[in-house]
Amino acid sequence: MENETVQPKVNPSVPLEENVTFVLPRPLPTALFCVGLALFLGFLSDCSSLLPLNVANIIWQINSLERVFNEASIPMLSFILMLSGVWLNNAVNGTKNKILGWICGLISLVIGVSLLLAVPLYLKNINFAYRIKSEEILNQRKIDKPAPRSELAEKYDASLKELSDTVYRNVLRFGTNGVVMGGALVLLGIFGIRQTRDRADVGFTCVTCGSSKVRLSQMNANEQSLATFTRIHTFRCEDCSRRFRKFSITGKPFPFFF
């Protein structure tokens, strides 16, 4: 990311109008990247306090997941900063730092997917722990046999209510955090990886002339329903007008999201 020149470098392979004309402070992309990286390393070192792993213990699982969900905004923020640094650097220099962008995108994607997968596990565990704990309270109540409306009976009612309130609050707070931050990290990761690809690298090319100027074609009713159910879309080459069908999740001229 370091560059000795003060002015933005003009990339001769890019047409002049695509070269960036505004001047950004040179250290800004590097600073953004470093702050992001520092935040992420801080998050990792914080996670190391969860060691030693005690995966068989449900309570340990719940506590660890709650901590990770609680701090999930930190990796999200750190990847926004790191990727912004990479993208700004690309914009300023008119180049593409593919490896760095790709690595950041991939790590962000992996962490995001892990967070999203951890949410159902967390819900299952907390439901299990809730049942055990409330059974414990009910069993103790059976042993004590408090008289109806006695102080002891009210105490049992209160502790049951507190237990369910706590579970509800935690599920809402940590579960939502996990889903939102996980989703944001996945999107960020996809963006990061997409930015490293040149469209021509992944896009469909014409089956006849090999042109990369391929657009989604006007589709008739049959083609439309084929596209809706199988995601096989009809594309048209802008150079030779050849129409052809290809699988594409989004209907854009490349198979997947990136």
Detail the DSSP E strand segments found in the chain. Answer: 214-216, 232-237, 243-247
* x/- map, 157-176, Zn ion, by CB under 5 A: --------------------
| Nearest of 165, 169, 166, 144 to residue 155 by alpha carbon | 144
Tell me how far, at minimum, the Cβ of 217 lies from Zn ion, in Å: 12
- β-bridge mates for residue 246, sequence order: 233
Tell me how far, at minimum, the Cβ of 205 lies from Zn ion, in Å: 8
Give dist(CA 133, CA 167) in Å, integer.
Answer: 11
69 vs 235, beta carbon nearer Zn ion: 235
- The DSSP output letter for 51 is P
Tell me how far, at minimum, the Cβ of 216 lies from Zn ion, in Å: 15
CB neighbours (10 Å) of residue 11?
15
206 binds Zn ion (CB under 5 A): yes
Residue 83 three-state SS: helix
- The DSSP output letter for 197 is S
- Residue of 9, 96, 197, 242 interacting with Zn ion (CB under 5 A): 242
Give dist(CA 204, CA 211) in Å, integer.
Answer: 9
- Residue of 57, 63, 211, 225 interacting with Zn ion (CB under 5 A): 211
23 binds Zn ion (CB under 5 A): no
209 binds Zn ion (CB under 5 A): yes
71 binds Zn ion (CB under 5 A): no
Q: How many binding residues for Zn ion (CB under 5 A)?
A: 8
238 binds Zn ion (CB under 5 A): no
**51 Cβ neighbours under 8 A, 6+ residues apart:** none
- Residue of 39, 74, 237, 252 interacting with Zn ion (CB under 5 A): 237
223 binds Zn ion (CB under 5 A): no
Residue 134 three-state SS: helix
**Residue whose structure tokens are 């507190």:** 162
- Choose one: 6-14, 162-170, 201-209, 228-236; the region binding Zn ion (CB under 5 A): 201-209
**Residue whose structure tokens are 């059974």:** 135
- Residue of 239, 243, 244, 245 interacting with Zn ion (CB under 5 A): 239
Q: Could you give the C-alpha distances from 17 to 67, 91, 244, in angstroms and in order?
A: 48, 13, 33
240 binds Zn ion (CB under 5 A): yes
Kindly identify the residues of this chain, within the stretch 121-150, that bind Zn ion according to CB under 5 A. none
**Residue whose structure tokens are 């001229």:** 253
185 vs 237, beta carbon nearer Zn ion: 237
54 vs 208, beta carbon nearer Zn ion: 208
166 vs 218, beta carbon nearer Zn ion: 218
Applying CB under 5 A, the residues found at the interface with Zn ion are 206, 208-209, 211, 237, 239-240, 242
